[in-house]
Structure 1
């Protein structure tokens, strides 16, 4: 039986990570107040989680539509043409924000933001030529984002 190793993380580390996920700009003082810990201990624990690659990055949620990228889509890819090789060549495309390996009929899923239907058509043509099969899911609107539970 394989035992999961949690890298010596505890409930306090989880609460710090949870609070940072919800607001990555929270001060150590505010964070300490939220979880009943001194700001210096919050800082120390946060730095340790960064060093252990538990906290990977700090991000902002951006409305890309306000920058003119009104189409948000997920595109499933089947590796018909680049068989067995991860499509790293897609990371250089401005449209591509995330690439995931997935299970099921398709092999990868792209998250893209694109300005308009003509640009989407051009990008899809590129995918057909370089990748093969695709399946596109357009995001019509975000209903809600499920908050993570502490």
Structure 2
């Protein structure tokens, strides 16, 4: 991969709202070259999507619950974990799915409206898959940092310190 392509990737990853003229100035190439590089990176599926990072805790009437589920599976002969991973990521509740090392094989990130909805997903959809041996569910309580963005509103903690 060329140096300019890597520079553009890093810039777009940090701020996907940068327009082509700005990117061209930042990497010191023509706008046509930047358009060509972006088109190539999208065609090669290196750039998959342009997303915003949203602090949903500040949005009224958005009672969402996020859970990370560790899953132990039996890999399938000839396809390893890919086949069971594909079955899992096709569920609409699944926001992310990772093959991980350690005690578990897969980590599934799902979103639901309530903890009960997530519980139903685990018990009726995920754990019933033939390859799934066990699951452990962790509920997200607070986000401190996501995709390199710190979730800090800058307000000082005004609680009184109490010590014994």
Aligned to 1:6: none
Find the structure with the greater CA-based Rg: 2
Q: Does 1:78 align with 2:72?
A: yes
- State the secondary structure of the residue aligned to 2:73: coil
CA separation of 1:61 and 1:145: change in aligned 2, threshold 3 A: closer
Q: Give the TM-score normalised by the residue count of structure 2.
A: 0.70
Q: How many residues align?
A: 138
Task: Classify 1:145/1:122 alpha carbon distance in 2 versus 1 (closer, same or farther; 3 Å).
Answer: closer
Aligned match of 1:113 in 111, 114, 121? Answer: 111
CA RMSD of aligned residues (A): 2.5
Q: Bigger relative contact order, structure 1 or 2, given CA contacts below 8 A and separation 6+?
A: 1
Distance 2:128 2:72 in 1: 12
Map residues 21-100 of structure 1 onto 2, 5 A cutoff.
Answer: 21-63=13-55, 66=59, 68=62, 70-79=64-73, 83-84=75-76, 85-100=83-98
Separation in structure 2 between the aligned mates of residue 69 and residue 113 of structure 1, nearest angstrom: 11
**Mind listing any 5+ residue stretches in structure 2 that lack a counterpart?**
77-82, 150-164
Q: Secondary structure at 2:48's aligned position in 1?
A: coil
SS at match of 1:78: strand
Alpha-carbon offset, residue 146 of structure 1: 6.0
Alignment of 1:123-138 (within 5 A): 123-126=121-124, 127-130=126-129, 131-138=132-139
Structure 1, gaps ≥5 residues long: 1-8
Aligned partner of 1:4 in structure 2 is none
